[in-house]
């Protein structure tokens, strides 16, 4: 199973989702069964570390984002991943425009796994530190829901 989190620049929301989700998988003993990555629609920040505010907020909750580096969504991602999860509607629209015909991966908003199918993870980039806390609150909730989904799929395949 492979999961890809997608936002605009891959320095705030999607690396936060990647770090939180990895930790949730480890806690459930599923990290060896699920590959996780993140990327951005835009190429502005390729190769850069996550925003220091995102790194700090995540670290305060025990999540390490320090080794992550931004990259851009590419054509191969649509075939390589089982889940392509956007942080907001604009990211999802951009993904749909780039997606090849006949793609079998699940493509949707990440917060659908938090029971919030139409809600977006707000971009905290231009705001204050409280925005990064809100992102973490939402991402933690959705990560737990996604872990449950993956765990139930594993059980169904047994």
Catalytic residue IDs: 7, 13, 123
Do the beta carbons of residue 122 and residue 105 sit within 8 Å?
no
Paired tokens of 62: 């025990």
Do the beta carbons of residue 107 and residue 99 sit within 8 Å?
yes
**CA distance between the termini of the chain:** 15
Residue 18, sorted as left (phi over 0), alpha (psi -120 to 50) or beta, turns out to be: alpha
Strand 83-86 and strand 2-7: the pairing is: parallel
Paired tokens of 90: 């604009």
Distance CA 84, CA 106 (A): 6
């Amino acid at each position: 199973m492979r999961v890809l989190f997608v936002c605009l620049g891959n320095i705030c929301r999607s690396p936060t989702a990647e770090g939180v989700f990895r930790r949730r998988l480890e806690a459930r003993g599923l990290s060896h069964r699920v590959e996780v990555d993140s990327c951005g629609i835009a190429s502005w920040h390729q190769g850069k570390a996550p925003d220091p505010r995102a790194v700090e907020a995540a670290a305060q909750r025990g999540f390490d984002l320090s080794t992550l580096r931004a990259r851009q969504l590419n054509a191969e991602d649509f075939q390589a991943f089982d889940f392509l999860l956007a942080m907001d509607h604009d990211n999802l629209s951009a993904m749909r425009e780039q997606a090849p015909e006949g793609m079998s991966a699940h493509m949707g908003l990440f917060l659908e796994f938090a029971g919030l199918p139409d809600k977006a993870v707000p971009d905290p980039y231009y705001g204050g530190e409280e925005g990064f806390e809100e992102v973490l609150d939402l991402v933690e909730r959705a990560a737990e829901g996604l872990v449950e989904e993956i765990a139930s799929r594993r059980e169904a395949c047994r």
